[in-house]
Amino acid sequence: MDDLKSKYLNLIANAGDENALEEIRVTAVGKKGEVALKMRELGKMTPEERQVAGPALNALKDEINSALAAKKAALGDAALDERLRGEWLDVTLPARGRRQGTIHPISQVTEEVTAILAEMGFSVAEGPQIDTDWYNFDALNIPGHHPARAEMDTFYMHRDAGDNRPPHVLRTHTSPVQIRHMEKHGAPCRIIAPGRVYRADYDQTHTPMFHQVEGLAIDRDISMANLKWVLEEFFSAFFEIEGIKTRFRASHFPFTEPSAEVDIQCSWEDGQLKIGQGDGWLEVLGSGMVHPKVLTAAGVDPAEWQGFAFGMGIDRIAMLKYGIPDLRAFFDSDLRWLRHYGFASLDVPTLRGGLSR
């Protein structure tokens, strides 16, 4: 028994790798190994002999297994030390570059618009995206027969039989925010209402969901001249072009009287749009003096107060400023598009409308 123990302990100590160690294990304590064969001979022994040989064989098996485990651990440590000597990492090297997230152009332009108009005294007002048809249409002097109220143009919320609540819609503009603000705060006021709006339309320049910002200024002696100044100052700051020319064209909106479409100076050169130069004009927004019926609906006396309102598509002016050709790309493009048109997180708008880089 001592010869067997000495033999295998020496073999284990001299094993050069784990493969050699495995061969020793199989030969010594495997199912057909020497120790196993010795264990089978116990049945041929007398009870007295088994009492001596049995514990000795079990002790031998345990000692060999312990030696095998210790040697395997030692071989593993030696292999790791060898690998560490051959493979090393310079922890003083800079880390690998990682792609950083970017700010979506819609979010960026919303911040730019808000910053510019904030400098002119406009605060931000918000309201629900699902609203009653009274706030979305009636309070804004939009009659029941108006095409905008048809289901082909507006998303109406489903109503169960017996539901007596007023019809609800996905707001088609942020004008309901103006009504709610005047109801709560009265006049005077100077606010903008940016946010998502919804209309049943889809092509290169229209999507079912898009973004608008509407402005409202109410006071005792506000006029179209004030509206013109605000818009010209805004365009100059937003497009970063001093003295940009505007053109007001008579139009009709149910919620303003008089109403005007506003164009900005532009030109087309080799298929490229250039803002602020040339003899062309590009429509960018609708505006006008708030209709007396709208003021009355909001609880403001039109005999005492008056004001102007304007509204423009955030997506549209983002396309114009940053050369984005298709409105649908804002919503169905991949990360490559966003990496091209997106903004780094430190590109924040200043109160002058430009970007601080």
Annotated binding-site positions = 257
| ∠ Cα 300 303 309 (to 5°) | 60
**Four-CA torsion 214, 218, 224, 228, nearest 10 degrees:** -50
What would the DSSP string read from start to end of 176-201? HHHHHHHHHH-SSEEEEEEEEEE-S-
DSSP state of 156: B
Contact by Cβ (8 Å): 307, 216: yes
Helix (H) or strand (E) holding 328: none
Q: Is 157 exposed, middle or buried (0-12, 13-18, 19+ CB in 10 A)?
A: middle
136 contacts: CB under 8 Å, gap ≥ 6: 154, 169, 171, 172, 173, 175, 176
Please choose, from the candidates 314, 316, 296, 315, the residue with its C-alpha nearest in 3D space to the C-alpha of residue 306: 296
Q: Which residues are annotated as a binding site for Mg(2+)?
A: 257
Burial of 12 (0-12, 13-18, 19+ CB in 10 A): buried
- Short-list 327, 350, 260, CA closest to 105: 327
Beta bridge pairs of residue 339: none
CA distance 60 to 58: 5
Distance separating alpha carbons of residues 267 and 282, to the nearest angstrom = 9
Strands 256-269 and 272-275: antiparallel
Closest to 153 measured CA to CA, from 195, 198, 194, 196: 198
Using alpha carbons, list the distances in angstroms from residue 162 to 133, 151, 156, 159. Answer: 18, 20, 17, 8
